A and B are shown apart, each in its own frame.
Chain A
Amino acid sequence: MKSSSTLATITLCGSLALFAGTVSAETIRVGIGHQSMVTNTVSGGIVLEKLDLLKKHLPTTGRYENVKYDIVFRDYDSGPPITNQMLANKLEFGVMGDYPLIVNGAKFQETGRQETRFIGLTGYNLRGTGNGIVVPINSSVQSLADLEGKALSVPVGSAAWGMTLKALSEAGLSGKVQIVNQSPAVGVANIQAGRIDAHADFCPWSEIMEFRGTGRKIYDGSEAGIPTFHGIVVRERYAKQYPEVVEGVLKATLEAQKWIQENPMEAAVKVSEWTGVEKEVLYLYFSEGGITTAEASIKPEWIEAMKYDLDLLKREVGVPDLDFDRWVDDTYLRAAYQAMDLDYDALVSSVVDTQPNNPALKPAEIWFSDKGIVTFESVADMLAAADSADTPIYATYVYDNLTGLKLFGKAAYLVRGDDGEVVAFLKKADSEKHIANYGGTPVKPESALAKAY
């Protein structure tokens, strides 16, 4: 009897001590909802998680001295579930594309109880590449006009959807193409099975389909000319309460972006291991001259683009209004840049854009399985090297002659001029125009390049 009461006392004291322990050390949750499959978001999600960058950058001094961080990463396949979790107070940060970001901000403002703040970018493409319209590889469709009377699927409410509406209306095809709502996974499967005439999607799905040889891009997001980007939102109350934590998350993001920019090949290999997206596709995004610019500053261009996007969302699917002045808040980002000794304003005014025949870039690259990335002075040299290569090749890369977009060599339409030089095109029609104007012959798919990469 006595011993049992002693035991009870000990247990009680023990549990009290435990309880007291948790009370004295405050625990702050850092919950981040991200989409690892979406290339533009990796610097705000999967890279932070796998390289453990948060631990390095979250504050540990002053009032945070005894704080414990409960770091939670949740991986979703689209933005809305993240907004759902944030509304339910289960996540603090959300990383998503431009359209879902707007829906997030607008939905929160609509509640009137709590709001979110848009605090920085994870990646962008100024012209809108990353979004694209793809047709099954054997389809006869070569341009938007060929889609008249056919069906096109797209995830409604995504940046790809916004691009599609703009593209169709500019081509005078509004209402003449049947638009069906489909998630990326289903759309990609449908393209593979040839069950739909076309599918429009965001990064990196068009390029995945090209790389897997199941689809062919007939329209690139850059033709619509609206920037596409992904960014980070945070719950406003949380940010007010722990501004240093928000700053820490942004610092970690900046480091992740630096890592991607400086080691595109390594980043492509690693992110591919973590996400299952092919490394060749990721390199197309991460590399210099590639599709994604991993840089965080909030530029006026982005706000302009989002205002356009919001109008579309309001008109087409009844999304409530969003007060951008309240919602966009770069103070945390400025603090993070300052802490990292970077000039924020200089970055804001510098925008990475694609340009044809960019002198800063070599015109062709091969990714060898053993030697890694090798650059070439001309596409012709690259083709010769690819032909005579005795080690396996992962992929080849060239640039579109008209826009400067980075392309898979195997997905490009190549033209060999009479002088032996080779130029690359995204679209068949452009390559034919080039031949008509300047002469030359198409490099046949049977030859060199189209082997496997």
Chain B
Amino acid sequence: MDSQSNAAIRTAEALVDTSAKPSGTEATPDACVSAELSPPEEKSQVQSRTPVMIWFRTSGPRYLVRIMALVAAVLLWELASDNGFSFYVNFENIPAPSVVGAALGAELAGQEFYLHILHSLERVAIAYVMAVVLGVVIGVAMGRSRWAEDIILPYIELLRPIPAVAWIPLAILMLPTEQSSIVFITFLGALFPVILNTVHGVEQTNGLLVRAARSLGASRTAILWHVVLPGAMPSIVAGLAIGMGVAWFSLLAGEIISGQYGIGYYTWNSYTLIQYPQIIIGMLTIGGLGTLCTLLVRKGCSPLLKWQARGGRS
């Protein structure tokens, strides 16, 4: 399990790094991974003048390529739907982007759609904050104490693979309101990646640094605060980003029972009325909001990772 999750976490870190530091620093161990992923030309252009110019020179064309890739996909989809493309994959009954776009226009003109989004944002926010606080605390405890790890790990390993949908019946019975059931299901989704990445980060703490701090007279709290946590931060941040993504897809499962509002409910309800354009709108909205929130988490956490750049150069 460890090597696998390590690899996953590494990749996630690399992603965090590239987005947090578009200019591409190379000295920290994590940046080595990111350098592997990013094309070589980034390195040579580090010395250019203003950051904005650098961005345009380096990332600008890449973003252009990304946008073009999306546009191409939409064009292909339009063609496939309009011509009833059917060769193993069948597009005959898939509404074309133009149809979906028209439906989206209608939704954006009304109020309902924003209510759905607001309700979902609220649920994700509550669930995510709870998952982050609890997840980091549990994760640090597990990383620092063998006892805590031995007691908690079996639960996590057992509960983690259970898909969010499976929790619905129990969530209804256990929790007092619909809202709390949905938040609970979303919370569970976000919790596990946060815990596991925190544990991983804490366990990776460089023993040399801990001994050095101790020999300088640092207390246990001081070591935790100034050595362990900063050291674990890249891994924790990766966990936070993954957790946000998982929170969004758990939300859809939870909102099946929402009954009234939420973008997951919107999507599910469209299915019960066989409204395919609305289903696609719901899917893309969840995807978009998930991406946006993950991006915000990464940006928000980048100050926590500043030590890496400074420390790495020494």
Give residues in A with beta carbon < 8 Å to B. 78, 80-81, 83-84, 87-89, 103-104, 107, 111, 113, 153, 155-157, 180-183, 185-186, 189-190, 192-193, 195, 317-319
- B269 adjacent to A80 (CB under 8 Å): no
B154 within 8 A of A: no
Most buried by A among B172, B178, B273: B273
A185 and B256 CA atoms in complex are apart in Å by 11
- B188-245 interface (Cβ within 8 A of A): none
- How far is the CB of B255 from the nearest CB of chain A, in Å? 11
**Chain A residues within 8 Å of B161, by CB:** none
B83 on interface, CB distance cutoff 8 Å: no
> Is the beta-carbon distance between B272 and A180 smaller than 8 angstroms?
no
Contacts of A186 in B (CB 8 A): 168, 172, 256-257, 259
* Known interface pairs A88-B93, A180-B260, A186-B257; A193-B274 also in contact (CB < 8 Å): no
Residues of B near A180 (CB, < 8 A) are 259-260
Given known A189-B169, A189-B172, A190-B172, contact A87–B273 (CB-CB < 8 A):
no
* Contact A87 B93, CB 8 Å, known A189-B172, A195-B172, A195-B176: yes
Cα(A192)–Cα(B174), bound, Å: 12
Residue of A nearest to B272 (CB): A80
A84 touches B92 (CB 8 A): no
Q: Are A103 and B273 interface neighbours, CB within 8 A?
A: yes
Total contacting residues, chain B, CB less than 8 A: 22
Q: Are B257 and A193 in contact (CB under 8 A)?
A: no
B169/A195 in contact, CB under 8 A: no
**What's the dominant secondary structure at chain B's contact region?**
loop
Bound-state Cα–Cα, A88 to B94, Å: 10
A89–B230 alpha-carbon span in the complex (Å): 56
Whether A113 pairs with B84 at a CB distance below 8 angstroms is yes
Distance between Cα atoms of A182 and B92 in the complex (Å): 31
Across the interface, B259 reaches (CB within 8 A) one of A80, A107, A153, A317, namely: A153
Question: In the assembled complex, which residues on chain A have CB atoms less than 8 Å from the CB atom of B271?
Answer: 80-81, 84
Given contacts A113-B92, A180-B259, contact A193 B272 (CB under 8 A): no
Known: A156-B269, A156-B272. A111 touches B173 (CB 8 A): no
Chain A hits for B273, CB < 8 A: 80, 103, 156-157, 317, 319
Q: Mark B148-181, 1 if CB is under 8 A from A, else 0.
A: 0000000000000000000011001100111000
Which residue, of A155, A156, A157, A189, has the highest number of chain B Cβ atoms within 10 A? A189
Q: Is the CB of B269 within 8 A of A111?
A: no
Chain B residues positioned under 8 Å from A88 (CB to CB): 90, 93
A190 to B260, alpha carbons, bound, how many Å? 15
Looking at the complex, which one of A111, A156, A183, A193 makes contact with B93 (CB distance below 8 Å)? A111
Evaluate contact between A83 and B169: CB separation under 8 angstroms. no
- B274 near A181: Cβ-Cβ < 8 Å: no
List of 5 A-B pairs having minimum Cβ-Cβ separation, nearest first? A180-B259, A189-B172, A186-B257, A107-B274, A80-B272
Expressed in whole angstroms, the minimum distance between the Cβ of A255 and any Cβ of chain B is: 31
17 CB < 8 A contacts A-B: A80-B272, A80-B273, A84-B274, A87-B274, A89-B90, A107-B274, A111-B93, A113-B93, A155-B272, A156-B273, A180-B259, A181-B259, A181-B265, A193-B172, A195-B177, A317-B273, A319-B273
